[in-house]
Chain A
Amino acid sequence: MLNSTVSELSAALAAKQLSSVELTRFFLDRIRGLNGKLNAFITVDEKHSLAQALVADERRAGKGNAGAAGPLTGIPIAHKDIFCTRGLRTTCGSRMLKEYVSPYDAHVIERFAAAGAVQLGKTNMDEFAMGSSNETSHFGPVRNPWDAARVPGGSSGGSAAAVAARMAPAATGTDTGGSIRQPAALTGVCGLKPTYGLVSRYGMIAFASSLDQGGPIARSAADLALLMNAMAGFDARDSTSLERPAEDYARELNMNLAGLRIGLPKEYFAEGVDAEVLARVREAVKWFESQGAKAVEISLPNTALAVPVYYVVAPAEASSNLSRFDGVRYGHRAKDYTDLASMYRRTRAEGFGTEVKRRILIGTYVLSHGYYDAYYLKAQKVRRLIAKDFADAYARCDLIMGPTSPSTAFVLGAKSDDPVQMYLNDIFTIPAPLAGLPGLSIPCGFDAKGLPVGLQIMGNYFAEAKMLGAAHRYQQATDWHRRAPDEARLQAPL
């Protein structure tokens, strides 16, 4: 059970070699054993998980009225604590929502429930998904299962760490500027950020609405495809949800790599990227070439501008989205205030952490009178230049490959005092969401310290099946995605 993929567990459930209750109990035990050290979960409700597992077992036995069992029926899945779950608290990693229990389920939660998946708990995250290290969580940092002195990346750091430490076979995440792909890379697991609009944002607490997109985190590309089949789909309650025919994200898993044109952006193989990271990525590209793929040198000339654009656009949208947290309808309310205005100001000063406040202040500033044109409008124009870079590139190649992150996992506290240094860490994951494009990260080796390196595979709009196909073919020939942190070291106390 420990090292199996979702696909393997699904086959075992179907063959009655295993029950969902056994499987769920196994992972709940594992969470109980490791969470004190790793802090990957904020909330676990064992009774609720086991009740869902029992229903899944009945469904697999043909009882009940939930319909025929599917591949995810009975599979325990952890959810990033940004997805609202009815009856189970949803904190978004914030003091503001510390006690919040949502009156409804997110669309993604509904979809997994309909598929018969078991909710394994809610995973830790950077507060309101603002961070790249999981250090901004009100509930404390998550530790990297490969080296507990290091960060797991963020903001979906709890989900990535849970999958890496085998506390969950798969998890959900969200990606605004890299929050699925970067933690997947830093913890040696697989993560997909889909094309904007494929996964409904309904019930997914908003950070930057023109960028936010939910996606899966798992141990193989084939599992990502399986999870995407459940997560994606039109939802009228998200005004940006795309109305498209349902697709099977696993349909190209056996694709032929011969003739595949792989774009290598020279800006992603440049100075400032860790030499060992680049070496591992080049080795992976070489393997694709050995299968008949053609490497094409391309340029994404505005790459360096993506981080500055993002730190105008995302805070601007966040300052608007987070204005709803005013201590009136939900969440924290300050105890000491003199009037309505001071109630708002105290509530928000207490409820939000340092990084969230910083981004709200930046967003308020760039949207304020006199600065809107110089910052916000300017950033939106450069955003179009970045999208155009990709459009030009995809005329010359089918997929783009490069490092997910310029370095492997860094030590806790190493960047937490300098926001700019932290922000620049996301240089290779920020461009795709600015253009609404999909990207994924899969493990492609280790550095000399034994820390995982992530290979990023990006594609054009709706190219998920092809990206997953390429990743799957690579995983058929390599075993990086099968590597797990040393169990004795993982179990050792801090």
Chain B
Amino acid sequence: MSLTPDQLQRIALLARIDVSAEEAQGVTERLNRVLGLIDQLQAVDTQGIEPMSHALDVVQRLRPDAVTEADRRDDFQKTAPAVEQGLYLVPKVIE
């Protein structure tokens, strides 16, 4: 499988990363080298093999449904680029 610069732009849109027209060719070319590497997997017979989604086959631990965290909104919002009255500010999305 090999990508064209147009297909790359579609993936970049999904990933929410701008790739400029000047970069696109180089990025596509290197990405295709990596896809060439991972294409080796297609030749492997995996009939009847269960996918391994995690490093250890352990069951997800559950905890009591109780409040354990203190309210530290001010601390957490100190790291944000733009806040006002306890809210995160983003560009206008609704007219």
Contact = CB atoms under 8 A, between A and B. Distances in A.
A308 B49 contact: no
Interface string A314-331: 000001000100111111
Given A103-B75, A361-B12, A361-B17, A378 B42 contact: yes
Interface in A345-377: 345-346, 348-349, 352, 357-358, 360-362, 364-366, 368, 371, 374-375, 377
Given A308-B41, A329-B80, A378-B41, A361 B15 contact: yes
A307 B46 CA distance: 17
B14 A362 contact: no
Given A364-B15, A385-B49, A340 B90 contact: yes
What bracket does the count of chain B residues touching chain A fall in? Answer: 35 or more
A479 to B, nearest CB: 35
B67 to A, nearest CB: 14
Given A319-B15, A361-B11, A361-B12, A308 B40 contact: yes
B90 A242 contact: no
Interface string A181-214: 0000000000000001100000000000011000
A340 B36 CA distance: 35
Interface stretch (A4-12, A157-165, A418-426): A418-426
A458 interface: no
Given A381-B49, A384-B51, A420-B37, A328 B17 contact: no
B82 A210 contact: no
Contacts of A326: 16
Contacts of B17: 345, 348-349, 352, 357, 360-361
Interface string A98-124: 001111000000000000000000000
- Of B1, B3, B53, B56, the most chain A CB neighbours within 10 A belong to B56
Given A103-B79, A240-B58, A365 B16 contact: no
Contacts of A346: 18
Contacts of A423: 34, 37
Please classify the interface of chain A as helix (H, G, I), strand (E, B), loop, or mixed, using the class held by over half of its residues.
helix
B81 to A, nearest CB: 4
Contacts of B21: none
A337 interface: yes
B5 to A, nearest CB: 12
A311 B37 contact: yes
Given A328-B90, A361-B27, A420-B33, A378 B11 contact: no
Contacts of B19: 349, 357
Contacts of A435: 55
Contacts of B31: 358, 361-362, 365
Contact of A345 (B8, B18, B54, B58): B18
Interface of B: 1, 3, 8, 11-19, 27, 30-31, 33-42, 44, 46, 49-56, 58, 60-61, 63, 72, 75-76, 78-82, 88, 90-93
Given A308-B41, A311-B38, 9 more contacts: A210-B53, A210-B55, A211-B55, A236-B61, A304-B40, A366-B38, A378-B41, A378-B44, A420-B34
